[in-house]
Amino acid sequence: MKHLLEIDDLTLEELHRVLALAQDPNPPQVLAGQGMALVFEKPSTRTRNSMEMAVVQLGGHPVYIQADEVGMDTRETVEDVTRTLACFHAAIGARVFAHSTVERMANENLVPVVNMLCDESHPLQALADVLTLQQEFGDLTGRSVAYIGDGNNVFRSLALAAGMLGMEIRFSGPPGYRLSEADRDRLAMAGVAFSEHDHAEQAVEGVDAVYTDVWTSMGQEAESVQRLKDFEGFQINEKLMVAAGPQAIFLHCLPAHRGEEVSDGVVDSAASRVWPQAANRMHAARGLLAWLLGEANA
């Protein structure tokens, strides 16, 4: 059984297929008469709404579940929750803290499991990101993206997805917030061209897209004061966009902490594509589910 826990669960061919299905004007009704359970340990605006609507557009019925309510590993084990949900649903989506939670769900192999964000990765976001980049630039081979800030879940998935599609990936962030050796090995395994830069200005020079995410992710709130200090100098603002050049577009997975990782002026600038990017969350989710519940697990 196929699941989507991280982008490199997909081959390059499968990634292209998902992106093609995301733009299919007649989505296959692969969920007709069926449900999808969407379990959230963390808050969400985009992921919940885009997934719910994607399920509806594929003929299915989404059921939103707050993890507290089902008590994963408190009321019953993650495995027992998974077995129960699989009695009623054709697929399970989960937004969790630990990556091991989605792995435990997938290991049951009862229905396809979709990672809707964990501390390590955010593959659904990356699918929307590359869809947005494709809509902007067409074939992504030889294009480039500079990610400035925290080498986090969003960045790992973006680097894999954009890198697999032939983009050069540049990163700049403070020491302590960069990719681990294991992360860099994983990118290398996927054939991704990756470079790390001490200065944000160097990383962005001449790139096609500049990307950032919050400095404090969900669950890291206790570190936020320290992180604000550590990330000083890594804000994407008008000056940094000038260093990138007039060709560069701006992307952000949202929610944005305006005035921290990005200035108001950049989010709202003509270079910003954050709203088409947010809208693409639904199209990308629909493409992924159409593939996962259709040809992938046929």
Determine, following the binding rule CB under 6 A, whether residue 66 of this chain makes contact with ligand CP: no
Question: 40-63: string of b/e by CB count within 10 Å (b at 16+)?
Answer: bbbebebbbbbbbbbbebbebebb
Q: What is the footprint of ligand CP within residues 105-134 (CB under 6 A)?
A: 117, 125
Q: Which of 38, 92, 110, 154 contacts ligand NVA by CB under 6 A?
A: 154
How many other CB atoms are found less than 10 A from the CB of residue 87?
Answer: 8
What is the size of the binding site for ligand CP (CB under 6 A)?
9
Nearest distance in Å: CB 279, ligand CP: 12
The reply on whether position 269 binds ligand CP by CB under 6 A is no
Residue 216 touches ligand CP, criterion: CB under 6 A: no
By CB atoms closer than 10 A (0-12, 13-18, 19+), residue 73 is: middle
Instruction: Give dist(CA 102, CA 119) in Å, integer.
Output: 11
> Rounded to an integer, what distance in angstroms lies between the CA atom of residue 25 and that of residue 281?
16
Return the residue matching tokens 């020079």: 205
Question: By C-beta, is 58 or 154 nearer to ligand NVA?
Answer: 154
Give whichever of 110 and 251 is closer to ligand CP, judged by the CB atom. 251
Exposure string for 187-213, b = 16+ CB within 10 A, e = fewer? beebebebeebeebbebbbebbbbbbb
Catalytically active residues are 95, 122, 125, 213, 253, 281
User: Interacting stretch for ligand CP, rule CB under 6 A, among 60-68, 141-149, 235-243, 247-255?
Assistant: 247-255
- Cis (ω within 30 of 0) for the bond into 28? no
Torsion of CA 212, 214, 220, 222, to 10 degrees: 130
218 near ligand NVA, rule: CB under 6 A:
yes
Q: Is 214 in the site for ligand NVA (CB under 6 A)?
A: yes
Looking at the Cβ atoms of 71 and 255, the one nearer to ligand CP is 255
* 56 lines the binding site for ligand CP (CB under 6 A): no
Distance CA 130, CA 248 (A): 15
CA trace torsion 150, 152, 157, 162 (10° rounding): 10
Regarding 153 and contact with ligand NVA (CB under 6 A), the answer is: yes
The answer to whether 279 contacts ligand CP (rule: CB under 6 A) is no
Picked from ligand NVA, ligand CP, none, the partner binding residue 152 (CB below 5 to 8 A depending on kind) is ligand NVA
Nearer to ligand CP, 44 or 220 (CB): 44
213 binding ligand NVA? (CB under 6 A) = yes
**Could you list the residues that contact ligand CP (CB under 6 A)?**
44-47, 117, 125, 253-255
**Could you list the residues that contact ligand NVA (CB under 6 A)?**
117, 152-154, 213-214, 217-218, 253
